[in-house]
Structure 1
Amino acid sequence: MSNRSLPLEGADAAVRAPCNNARASAWLRRSLRARTRWFSLRGAGALVAVGYMDPGNWATALGGGAKYGYQLLSVVFASSLMGLLLQWLASKVGVVTGKDLAQLCRERYSPRLTIMLWLGCEIAIIACDVAEVVGSAVALQLLLGVSLSAGVMLSAIGTFAMLSLQRRGRAPLQTAVTALIFFVACCFVIELALASPSWHRAVAGLVPPAALLRDPGMLWLAAGMLGATVMPHNLYLHSALVKNHALGRDDRLVSKAIKAVNADTLISLSLAFLVNAALLIVAAAVFHASGHDEVSDLAEAHRLIAPLVGSHWASLVFAAALLACGLNATVTGTLAGQAVMEGFLQLRSAPWARALLTRTLAIGPALLAVSAFGEQGSNQLLIASQVVLSIQLPFAVVPLVRFAADAGLMGAFRVKRIPLALAWACVAIVVALNLVLVWQVVTDSPAQSLF
């Protein structure tokens, strides 16, 4: 019997082998799909975080750190917390409803109000793109020695190069963006090591200064920091990126998607805060501490940072990080423009067409500023563009909070109690800050005290 059992066992093994191979292949396919879905659920945060460290943030953080030392670190921290809360609301609305913020505005508001909201958001995107164009141009000038006008044109080429990664799906683009974010973070680790800041004063700077509402220049920079950190079109973009994460609309799937998106948002925006805080701390430690409290221009900061810290690497790392931020920001601006146009107007456009449109509208003001006023004019344009974003922010935040608290729209996932109270408090702060800002612009011209 033992002699007969051997062939049977061999035949049985031969039959089982294909089955085992099929099971292994099926397991591998499921594993790959799970990993792909895991990355897609956690890729939106990287794209959104880019908007929190674009060249506009550099201009406001440099100006604030050089002029006021560590005092405005509290504004960076508060803006980042507000941004985290608002991005959480935007992502939650997108996951639960399966629609982005622009689509919800079109469905629930009148056509006239919808058009007004769309125009305001487009203005914000153009203002942001102006900052990205100028910032990238300055970085290219510092690294390659080209003129600012040539840098403006080269930055447009960089936009199309980054967007070409989308031909194989969103994953390659997300990978490239994430890699550049970590590159920027490493650059600022080097800058902090070279700058040797006073960490005691930095911690004290987390307390809001009493002069914030009395000093026109400080308020102007605070509004610019708020606009540079909490960008209105980022809210539209985030809701659009995650709206398909729970396609079945089953409560269990929705809860799982929300948890994944929340973790992604927290990690990504925390890294963005650290980069922004590091930029202001470096400016305070290098420029303010040495008496160069009028440094607000990116090129001037690049020129002074190496001799002040005693290392030529400081200026090279500074310019490389600025270029990486500029390239990344061009991607999110284009993606946000697509989401806004499709959501409000139901018009679809190819990424290259949207990039061409926003770049064409942004290149004009950028070329005008750098040709008429030089580097100083480009820096004024950078900070002014961030103030425009701050003024536009309430028109995106108010609908977002209303939708997030709507029981008929969000069901069991609606925002209520403490998170809702904090959200409305953010709205109140944004509106109050903008009212004070507009009043001071009309009466005192705070920009003159800064420049």
Structure 2
Amino acid sequence: MREASVRPASVVATGATATDASAPPNSGAPGALEQLLAKGRLRATLSMLGPAFIASIAYVDPGNFATNMQGGAAYGYLLLWVVLAANLMAMLIQYLSAKLGIATDRSLPELVRERYPRAVTRAMWVQAEVMAMSTDIAEFLGAALGLNLLFGVPMLPAGLITGVIAFAILGLQMRGHRGFELAVTALLGIVFAGFLFETLRIGPSVHESLRGLLPGFNGAGSLYLAVGIIGATVMPHVIYLHSELTKGRVPCSDDAERRQVLRFERLDVIIALGLAGLANMAMLAVAAKLFHTPALSGLNTIQQAHQELGHLVGGTAALAFAVALLASGTSSSSVGTYAGQVVMAGFINIRIPVSLRRALTMSPAIAVLAAGLNPTSALVLSQVVLSFGIPLALVPLVTLTSRRDVMGVHVNHRLTTVLAWTCAIVITALNGFLIYQQFATS
């Protein structure tokens, strides 16, 4: 029997859990949110930050390194506007996912299972698993490259070591969400600090950066990379994950308390996604400054970018790049595995051991490493594949958050719905045009 069939309609509409509904009124005991706010505004805010930081690590994963480096080398600052637009879309999308979890105490996959036909739910699960594997290709290859660049570890053993590190980080999540959040946030800080250092050291052109914020393309190649940048920035698996991270995080007794939690979550999204967006823009601007030359415009591997950083700027810059890549790959790999658990449990109500899921999702990346394929090309291709999964996650997200019987008083405003559908249409249109260009030029 489906969970929705035994859940009171009034509970679904307001997002209150059965526990909330049965709590004795006016018991006098302070609620969880009230206790949190009693600690002071600053401590309460810091305690509430976290879910968006988990999601944001996926927005600076190794796929971003590959697409941003290639985009800057081939087209200079031209695609900087794509990075900015993708990040703004990500902020809206991740907030909607977080809001869904807070308002309904359900994750997006759970609500799809409850409210959509079984055939649709299973199809959604299958495509979400494909997206998870595409994600793992980028994350594993990036972390393996980081180990290879830092310590000279061969690529295949480096990939296996990455799996072990991911298990260790996931072990923190099994002991409670806060340790996992702090570990991932620390790794995000390493990535951000690395590219802040690169930007200050190299000094990209401010004038050219501002020009790069004006929309435009330069042929099919720039469109291919633009779609890859969007695929590397707006990640389907964290659209599903964010709602899981926020549901029931702070038990709320009524809609007024949910509004307070939503205000904290908006701040969480703005800070976390803002840092991720700045890191991405710094990546592309650094690549544009250093590599957009006749000799280096064809740069197409992360190893080459690392080597040229060392030649052009110095060993410290190359070291910062490699450390940031390793931090990005290991943390995003752990988040990807966690998202895979959420997807399977939500869509088909089946849970498997995390070790088995880790082995399944890492297998395509290990196969790429074993075959000796170009890791950076595989990274970019994986990001293009990911971009095709974005509309499939966005459509139910926007639909459900626009329904008053699901969200109650927290239903989307009309403008929010219009903006969200615009994001979905733009991404879908870019993907369709990319397919047309590929067939037209083949």
TM-score relative to the length of structure 2: 0.88
Q: Which amino acid aligns with 1:408?
A: D
Match of 2:328 among 325, 329, 332: 325
For residues 167 and 118 of structure 1, the distance between their equivalents in structure 2, rounded to whole angstroms, comes to: 23
| Matched residue SS, 1:393 | helix
Contact (CA 8 Å) 1:152, 1:367: kept in 2 or not? no
Match of 2:233 among 229, 240, 250: 229
For residues 2-151 of structure 1, what are the structure 2 equivalents within 5 Å?
39=46, 41-151=48-158
Write the deviation string for residues 95-139 of structure 1: whole angstroms up to 9, x where unpaired.
Answer: 101111101111111111111111111100100001111111111
For residues 83 and 436 of structure 2, the distance between their equivalents in structure 1, rounded to whole angstroms, comes to: 23
For residues 111 and 47 of structure 2, the distance between their equivalents in structure 1, rounded to whole angstroms, comes to: 23
Shift of 1:165: 2.0
Match of 1:254 among 258, 261, 268: 258
For residues 439 and 129 of structure 2, the distance between their equivalents in structure 1, rounded to whole angstroms, comes to: 24
Contact (CA 8 Å) 2:37, 2:44: kept in 1 or not? no
Contact (CA 8 Å) 1:245, 1:257: kept in 2 or not? no
Contact (CA 8 Å) 2:140, 2:330: kept in 1 or not? no
Of residues 179-188 and 60-69 in structure 1, the stretch that sits farther from structure 2 once superposed is 179-188
Contact (CA 8 Å) 2:217, 2:223: kept in 1 or not? no
Q: Which amino acid aligns with 1:323?
A: L
Shift of 1:249: 4.9
Q: Which amino acid aligns with 1:304?
A: E
For residues 46 and 360 of structure 2, the distance between their equivalents in structure 1, rounded to whole angstroms, comes to: 30
The answer on 1:398 being equivalent to 2:398 is: no
Write the deviation string for residues 21-69 of structure 1: whole angstroms up to 9, x where unpaired.
Answer: xxxxxx9999679999755531101100000000001000000000000
Contact (CA 8 Å) 1:67, 1:288: kept in 2 or not? yes
Aligned-pair identity (%): 38
For residues 304 and 95 of structure 2, the distance between their equivalents in structure 1, rounded to whole angstroms, comes to: 37
Match of 2:160 among 147, 153, 160: 153
For residues 73 and 387 of structure 2, the distance between their equivalents in structure 1, rounded to whole angstroms, comes to: 22
For residues 28 and 242 of structure 1, the distance between their equivalents in structure 2, rounded to whole angstroms, comes to: 18
For residues 181 and 42 of structure 2, the distance between their equivalents in structure 1, rounded to whole angstroms, comes to: 14
Of residues 151-160 and 269-278 in structure 1, the stretch that sits farther from structure 2 once superposed is 151-160
Contact (CA 8 Å) 2:79, 2:226: kept in 1 or not? yes
Match of 2:175 among 162, 168, 180: 168
**Cα distance, 1:412–1:71 mapped onto 2, change above 3 Å:** same
For residues 67 and 249 of structure 1, the distance between their equivalents in structure 2, rounded to whole angstroms, comes to: 54
For residues 36 and 241 of structure 1, the distance between their equivalents in structure 2, rounded to whole angstroms, comes to: 20
Q: Which amino acid aligns with 1:79?
A: A
For residues 42 and 356 of structure 2, the distance between their equivalents in structure 1, rounded to whole angstroms, comes to: 32
For residues 293 and 316 of structure 2, the distance between their equivalents in structure 1, rounded to whole angstroms, comes to: 20
Contact (CA 8 Å) 1:216, 1:444: kept in 2 or not? no
- Report runs of 4+ in structure 1 exceeding 6 Å deviation: 27-37
For residues 180 and 337 of structure 1, the distance between their equivalents in structure 2, rounded to whole angstroms, comes to: 20
For residues 41 and 212 of structure 2, the distance between their equivalents in structure 1, rounded to whole angstroms, comes to: 44
For residues 303 and 208 of structure 1, the distance between their equivalents in structure 2, rounded to whole angstroms, comes to: 31
For residues 307 and 71 of structure 1, the distance between their equivalents in structure 2, rounded to whole angstroms, comes to: 25
For residues 404 and 438 of structure 1, the distance between their equivalents in structure 2, rounded to whole angstroms, comes to: 30
| Matched residue SS, 2:298 | coil
Match of 2:435 among 423, 438, 441: 438
* Structure 2: gaps (5+ residues): 1-33
- Which structure has the larger Rg? 1
Contact (CA 8 Å) 2:341, 2:357: kept in 1 or not? yes
Match of 2:407 among 398, 410, 426: 410
Q: How many pairs align?
A: 409
Of residues 166-175 and 137-146 in structure 1, the stretch that sits farther from structure 2 once superposed is 166-175
Shift of 1:406: 0.6
For residues 79 and 104 of structure 1, the distance between their equivalents in structure 2, rounded to whole angstroms, comes to: 26
The answer on 1:298 being equivalent to 2:310 is: no
For residues 274 and 324 of structure 1, the distance between their equivalents in structure 2, rounded to whole angstroms, comes to: 17
Q: CA RMSD in A?
A: 2.1
TM-score relative to the length of structure 1: 0.86
Write the deviation string for residues 303-326 of structure 1: whole angstroms up to 9, x where unpaired.
Answer: 1112112x2111111101100101
Counterpart of 1:188 in structure 2 is 195
Contact (CA 8 Å) 1:98, 1:247: kept in 2 or not? no
For residues 367 and 257 of structure 1, the distance between their equivalents in structure 2, rounded to whole angstroms, comes to: 47
